[in-house]
Structure 1
Amino acid sequence: YTGGIPEMLDGIEIVLVAVGLFAVAEVLYAVLYEGKVVEGQNKLSRVHMSKRDWKRSIPAWLRGTAIGTPFGCIPAGGTEIPT
């Protein structure tokens, strides 16, 4: 099942699959939206977050924690997968 490639005897690493999956998505995004201005992007107007910004960001933090924690617990995955 290795196709004559000795490096495949150890199997495929989960880190490589996850990084490759996200890299392909990022490349497709960059190619499809190259040079286009996305209206949803906010311009940086101040350095510190307001109370409204803090309230809006809490769901994203919780969602990121819920998604990243199980991936971070995978043995041999380390910190590469959730980040």
Structure 2
Amino acid sequence: MEWMHRAACTDTDPELFFPVSTEGPGAVQREEAKRVCAGCPVRAECLEYALESKQNSGVWGGLDERERAALHRGRRSRLRSSGAGHH
């Protein structure tokens, strides 16, 4: 995962990306983490890694766990409707 060395967050405290709540200070922290991700040159790789490895907490690739779950559900739905994955 060579891309991790080019991530915008390499010099950022990892705790920023794992807020303990979704409200108040946690919401502020989540938005701050997303701002770091916004300018990241490897944002797409990070998001793909999080989806493939089923990361269920934190901000990865600019998306929080709820947003990644919705994206994952949408991908599965598109695959089913296109017939992909059926043998």
- TM (norm. structure 1) is 0.30
Structure index of larger Rg = 1
How does the TM-score come out when normalised to structure 2?
0.29
Compare relative contact order (CA 8 Å, sep 6+) and give the higher one, 1 or 2: 1
